[in-house]
Chains A and B, each alone.
Chain A
Amino acid sequence: MMEFPGQLIYWIVVVMMMMGFYIVIAQGNFVKKIVGLNVFQVSVFLLYITMGKVTGGTAPILADGIEIYSNPLPHVLILTAIVVGVATTSLGLALVVRINEEYGTIEDDDILEQESDA
């Protein structure tokens, strides 16, 4: 059985992940979809950062008198993933700007309507 308080952070991860996923699916506005995508990605970042924590461990900087360090590797990995996330968000927003220029709207329904006419 999962101890509820002990696993709280994982519950937060799962809830955030589903929230982000739901926003991506349910929202018709292209900017809001990207916000949802970001929430979704951040939940995975949290998952990685959480798993690097060692109970009683401190920041992984070598110092006298410290025996236990947290695992820095997941943090480094997530640094890369954050960079990728920023790149994706900026590219997505750039596309939204271009879509707005061409279609005059960023609502999914309106765009589908215009595309079915074309």
Chain B
Amino acid sequence: MITDHLVVLQIIIPLMAAPLCVFIRNANVTWALATIISWICLVISITLMQQVMATGEIIYELGGWAAPWGIEYRVDMLNAWVLVIVTSVGAMVTPYAKLSAEKEIDNDRLYIFYAMLLLCETGLLGITVTGDAFNLFVFLEISALSTYVLISMGKDRRGLTAAYRYLIMGTLGATFYITGVGLLYMQTGSLNIADLGKLIPDVADSRTVQAALAFMTVGLCVKLALFPLHMWLPNAYAFAPSVVTVFLAATATKVAVYALVRVIFTIFGGVDILEAVQISDVLIAMAIVAMFGGSAVAIYQTNIKRMLAYSSLAQIGYMILGLSMNSVLGVSAGLVHLFNHAMMKGGLFMVMGCVVYRIGSAKLGDMAGLGKQMPVTMGAFVLGGLSLIGVPLTVGFVSKWALLQAALEKGWWPIAVLIVISSLMAVVYIWRVVEVVYFQAAPAGRVAVKEAPLMMMIPMLTLIGAAYYFGIDGTTTMDIAGRAAESLIGGLK
């Protein structure tokens, strides 16, 4: 039955479609193909989610070789959750991509763009489903290499240096990660994530295993851009083509967070590693610095794409803060924020894509007076911004409320206060944009612009709408995140 193979089809379909795009070479046909594939992936991931909810963990042995010798793909609540996040963003990004990419990427290279987008999605989905630590590295590099190409495809030359700097940082990070995997293999003789989880407790005291933990954590923190390893992210997001920024901001860092969760709670789950080696204090400290530093730097940015990139750094801080609390509430707050942040930041970057499409710039000064000329787009920006701040009825509120509860449950009221203060800093950078857009007259030289085309508006409004739908009724998302967190923390006991 084909439904038995859904787990692997999720990877194979986009993987096979990518080279097909290179053979087709026609921009419109490749776009149609990429759109269809991304929607197929979405359907598969939702089906998998329902299967997992109904029957529990799905285990798929590649080529019929049993784990731990063969590679297995394993989908539980957490994987299915991340799959849904990645594929739903993918399905929104591809229809949006057509017009935005035509404007911002050389038209004779568009087919490569779609091929790379599909490869990037393959890599991200692969990281998510795989149950093998080394296989995870391979998918990490598939997604990373295609990301470097995507970032460098814009017409701004600074995209090239941003891609180069990300390539250096990303490769260092990935190499750190395999060093860690190698050390674990030395000590346990296994590469299977679930199997490692069982073997680690016996050897946890050895220096080799502790070095492996350090290598893997640092490597993945580069990938998820946790302060102080975030230097590659702002320029990469600011100078990549807008549609690439939407996709990366909403998926790439989320998947890296997922990989870190797997390392901490599954591979090292048996020894309660956050307590055992005190890395939880370090992670909490870095998360809080990221929350404040990211927001503070965002306030001073004149390029709004760059401002949103710094705001992403702060949001990553919230996710890591939740995870390092090491409690069911904390982890579920972190996990629900993966989805919530993907919706609102994806929506906000889509707004910026529409602005760039119309006025050709993401600079704050150039956006003056857009509130009258593009009322729907700018309205979406305000709504997304409110969600970033964490106003009630938005997804931002759902995740911050969960995070606050988790902090208070632990009795860490100073941290709860810090969460609230750092959220208020978002008011400042969102207000700066609102002020310029609504209360300043359009610059004299600029030709009056219209709303962005419907094909870009619909995905944008869908994501912003989702940020409110799941904000008003957060029970579904919180329930899934809570169940995923319980299964992770349950692994500890």
Contacts and interface: CB of A to CB of B under 8 A. Distances in A.
Interface string A24-67: 10000010011001001100100110010000000000000000
Interface string B186-201: 1000010000000000
B175 A44 contact: yes
Interface string B154-177: 000110110110011001100100
A113 to B, nearest CB: 12
Interface string B123-164: 000000000001001100100010011001000011011011
B21 interface: no
B167 A88 contact: yes
Contacts of B191: 77
B167 to A, nearest CB: 5
User: DSSP majority for the A interface?
Assistant: helix
Given A44-B182, A51-B186, A84-B138, A115 B158 contact: yes
B168 A96 contact: no
Contacts of A40: 172, 175
B22 to A, nearest CB: 15
Nearest to B169: A24
A102 B161 CA distance: 10
B185 interface: yes
A77 B138 CA distance: 10
Contacts of B160: 95, 98-99, 102
Interface string A1-42: 000000000000000010001001000001001100100110
Contacts of B179: 17, 44, 47
Contacts of A77: 134, 191
B158 A47 contact: no
Given A40-B175, A41-B171, A91 B157 contact: no
Contacts of A21: 172
Given A47-B179, A51-B185, A74-B182, A92 B167 contact: yes
User: DSSP majority for the B interface?
Assistant: helix
Interface in B331-372: none
B395 interface: no
Nearest to A97: B160
A96 B164 contact: yes
B158 A95 contact: no
A74 B163 CA distance: 31
B182 A102 contact: no
Nearest to B142: A84
Contact of B167 (A48, A91, A98, A103): A91
Nearest to A115: B158
A17 B183 CA distance: 15
A77 B184 CA distance: 14
A84 B179 CA distance: 14
Contacts of B243: none
Interface footprint category on A: 20 to 34
Given A87-B145, A118-B158, A47 B175 contact: no
Contact of B157 (A30, A44, A102): A102
A51 B191 CA distance: 14
Contact of B172 (A24, A87, A95, A96): A24
A16 B168 CA distance: 17
Contact of B148 (A17, A74, A91): A91
Given A24-B168, A37-B168, A111 B161 contact: yes
Given A77-B134, A88-B141, A44 B158 contact: no
Contacts of A17: 179
Contacts of B171: 37, 41, 88, 92
A48 B158 CA distance: 37
A10 B163 CA distance: 33
Contacts of A37: 168, 171-172
A118 B141 CA distance: 32
Contacts of B158: 115, 118
Contacts of A84: 138, 141, 145
A44 to B, nearest CB: 5
A37 B167 CA distance: 10
A30 B145 CA distance: 18
Given A24-B168, A44-B182, A74-B182, A88 B145 contact: yes
Contacts of B161: 99, 103, 111, 115
A95 B148 CA distance: 9
B152 A95 contact: yes
Nearest to B186: A51
B178 interface: yes
A74 B175 CA distance: 15
Contacts of A95: 148, 152, 160, 163-164, 167
Contact of B175 (A41, A87, A91, A118): A41
10 contacts: A41-B175, A44-B178, A51-B186, A77-B191, A87-B145, A88-B171, A91-B167, A99-B157, A99-B160, A115-B161
Given A47-B179, A88-B167, A99-B161, 6 more contacts: A44-B182, A81-B178, A96-B164, A103-B157, A103-B161, A118-B158
Interface of B: 134, 137-138, 141, 145, 148-149, 152, 157-158, 160-161, 163-164, 167-168, 171-172, 175, 178-179, 182, 185-186, 191
Ranked nearest first, the 6 interchain pairs of A and B with the lowest CB-CB distance are: A102-B157, A84-B141, A95-B164, A51-B186, A99-B160, A44-B179
